Amino acid sequence: MNIRPSEDSDVRTLANLFTESVHDLAVGHYDSKQRTAWAPQPPDLDYWHERLTSLHTLVAEIESQAAGFISYELNGHIDLLFISPGFVRLGIATALYSRAESILIKAGVTNIFTEASLSARAFFGRQGFHVTEEQSVSVRGALFRRFAMRKLLDSAQQGVAPDRYSAMLHNGR
Ligand SMILES: CC(C)(COP(=O)(O)OP(=O)(O)OC[C@H]1O[C@@H](n2cnc3c(N)ncnc32)[C@H](O)[C@@H]1OP(=O)(O)O)[C@@H](O)C(=O)NCCC(=O)NCCS
């Protein structure tokens, strides 16, 4: 597996991966109306271009095929983590998360947080996150149950001044 920062040319691939992931992997947790609201088909590529531009994204590739991606902010927010349906339970999300976590630790982040879907709660629990709040949110007219989750990082893992890494982080590395 190769993990690399995303490029502008990845937008269509990542938007399609997200859409397939939601419609396939979230089936047991969200109904068809919810999945359609979460991931409209076809995906709006202008929306995705704008959304990904504001985030740092790492892409996992297997034999040059995108198998998953994670998007995060330098304040510790994990915004997106989606694996292609053919590649689940192979440790890809764990590898992506670990890479993002290392970057955030080097940036001086002391806690990492996300809003986990019902489908991802167990994954984040396995990474050491705990639920801080159960939430109900409306997306494009559909209601979703999700969990605000947080992982406090050990201060022993800190130690590198954020500014030393700002250029590297800007490139998603
Ligand atoms: C949740 C998701 C990111 C996990 O990706 P993955 O690459 O399959 O995860 P990993 O293989 O790294 O799993 C690591 C561990 O997390 C836990 N885990 C992962 N998926 C799980 C699931 N569906 N149910 C229960 N536990 C799960 C397990 O402990 C797993 O270890 P194991 O396989 O040895 O039992 C992926 O299923 C996905 O994209 N889901 C749909 C989209 C989604 O909800 N994304 C998150 C939005 S917040």
Convert 18-58 into a string of H (helix), E (strand) and C (coil): HHHHHHHHCCCCCCHHHHHHHCCCCCCHHHHHHHHHCCEEE
- β-bridge partners, 69: 59, 82
In a mutational test of the pocket of ligand 1, which residue from 30, 123, 131, 134 has the highest number of ligand atoms less than 8 Å from its CB?
A: 123
Q: Give yes or no for residue 123 CB within 6 A of ligand 1.
A: yes
CA of 93 to the centre of ligand 1 (A): 7
What's the pLDDT score for residue 159? 42
Residues 6+ apart with CB under 8 A from 51: none
Task: For residue 25, give the ligand 1 atom closest to its CA.
Answer: 41
Q: State the sign of the Cα–Cα–Cα–Cα dihedral 7, 46, 57, 109.
A: positive
Q: What is the pLDDT of residue 155?
A: 57
The whole-number pLDDT of residue 162 equals: 39
Cα 126 to ligand 1 centre (Å): 9
Torsion of CA 150, 133, 90, 98, to 10 degrees: -10
Phi-psi region of 63 (alpha: psi -120 to 50; beta: other; left: phi over 0): left
> What's the pTM?
0.91
* Whole-number pLDDT of residue 156: 52
Q: Using CA atoms, how far apart are residues 168 and 133, in angstroms rounded to an integer?
A: 33
Residue nearest to atom 15 of ligand 1 (CA): 123
Q: Quick one: fold of 2-170? A: Aminopeptidase (3.40.630)
Annotated domain spans of the chain: 2-170
Residue 147, pLDDT score = 98
Q: For 143-156, how does the pLDDT look when each residue is reduced to its tens digit (9 = 90+)?
A: 999 999 999 987 55
- In this structure, the residue with its CA closest to atom 35 of ligand 1 is 89
- Kindly give the distance from the C-alpha atom of residue 121 to the centroid of ligand 1, in angstroms, as a whole number: 8
User: Could you tell me the mean pLDDT of each successive run of 10 residues in the chain, 173 residues long?
Assistant: 97 98 96 97 98 98 97 98 97 98 96 97 98 97 97 66 39 45
Q: What is the pLDDT of residue 154?
A: 77
Amino acid found at 102: S
